[in-house]
Structure 1
Amino acid sequence: MLLAPAFFVTLLPPPLALLAVVCLGLLMGLAARLGFLAMGRGIARLTVGAVFGLGFSLGRALPEWWGILVAIVGIMVGLACVSSWERRLGLTPISSKGPSAWGGNEPLLTPEGEPIRAFNHGEIAMGGPTYCDYLFPDGVLL
């Protein structure tokens, strides 16, 4: 899904490529404001592809190593802008807290309701026992 917009925007001159990215961003905002969140997320993916195309278009337009440098900076700035625009529109969840990737039922709260942090998850071998570290609110590391 990223290749088609990246390819077509790369063929455009840089001002038109920038216009395409801005139009997709506005369309993403309109879809989110009207309540079409799934459509807004799809347009966000197209916008990410268009940002890559804009970077490549800038890279083609400038001579020698300046093109490479401007392309890299343009892509990084563009992706940061799209990401912040998605968060502002509410298209991405703010909390990334989800179930454990290992499927464990580790406790997340003490009996008093204070959070327990679990980190350094690992697995001894493929399908082998898993391990992790627990940091309790009182500073105990288990």
Structure 2
Amino acid sequence: MKTATCIALGALITLSQPAMAEPSINNMQGCQALIDFLDAKLDQASYDSSDITKIQDGLAAYNSYIQNEIITPGLLKFSNGDKSKASKLQEQVDAYKTQVVAGYNKRYPQKHLFMDHVVALNNCTQQAVPQGADLQALKTSMETMVAILKAS
């Protein structure tokens, strides 16, 4: 567990580094699915409620960042500015996310988090890094997840 914690803590440092390439909608919809899964998992978990709030606040900020800065503009660009087409594409994104969440639920039926989840979330942050308060909320969220896992 000590090695995994060190890896995760070291990985958190990458949050402050800017993303090198423009993130893809495909990758980011997978990250949104992970966030949806983690949020639901936290609703089932028996962690301290203040820890759950910190984690969910960071996840919500990151999810909003992904949607507003990557997914929505990307779908509009892909549909040449046609909001109706972009809306239909968003429905496809949402359906895909639902399938991915179902896969996570099948793989992780337990009512708690795993270090794999923190690592997967960190992999997302290496593709798309929010700024300012959203970044701080995300860092706090991830640090809290690591602390919870280290304590258990």
TM-score w.r.t. the length of structure 1 is 0.36
**Higher normalized contact order (CA 8 Å, seq sep 6+, divided by chain length):** 2
As a proportion of its length, which structure holds more strand?
Answer: 1
As a proportion of its length, which structure holds more helix?
Answer: 2
Q: Which has the larger radius of gyration?
A: 1
